[in-house]
Amino acid sequence: MKHTQKVRLITVLACLLALICGSFAFFKWYNQPKQVFQRNKTELEAVISDYLATETLSWPELPGVQSVNVWGNEEPIVEFLTGSFGITPASTYRGFYYSVSGKPVSFQAGNEPLIPVKNGWEWKGRGDNGGFTQHIEGNWYSFEAYF
């Protein structure tokens, strides 16, 4: 009888572990910038339409979006931050942006040149600073920056 109880307990624990690991993987995928963009696409298009018409930035509460900023002067981008992790100087930022010019840019429309890589572009800053941007659709791009 004890052997059967141990097998049941081990089976239940293994199932719980698999469920927890699967939940973390789904949560990570669900909160990736591209998925946040897709879930809020209609509202995001309205935000950009208003911004292009008035050059004023206002937005509704968007699930998964932590903050919204405009960067750059001549060719601005509207950045939607979806996550950040770490304590400066070791931080990572993730999100997506709308490029008014339609061109990809480095983090916050910085001056770092973009280097074409598989599935997107990388940029390198001073020290270990860098990042990656990838086309989503139209003038929309996702990004990850690390410092």
Kindly state the tokens that stand for 146.
Answer: 């690390």
Task: Count the Cβ atoms, other than its own, within 10 Å of residue 80.
Answer: 26
Residue pair 115/131 in contact by the 8 Å Cβ criterion? no
Residue pLDDT, tens place only, 2-36: 666 665 655 544 444 433 433 333 344 345 899 99
pLDDT at 29: 37
Domain boundaries, the chain: 1-30, 33-146
Average pLDDT over residues 87-108: 87
The band of 84, judged by pLDDT with boundaries at 50, 70 and 90, is confident
The b/e string for 121-147 (b: 16+ C-beta within 10 A; e otherwise) is: bbbebeeebbbbbbebeebbbbbbbbb
Q: 0.95 cut: is pTM over it?
A: no
The answer to whether residue 80 scores a pLDDT higher than 80 is yes
Which three-class secondary structure state does DSSP give residue 99?
Answer: strand
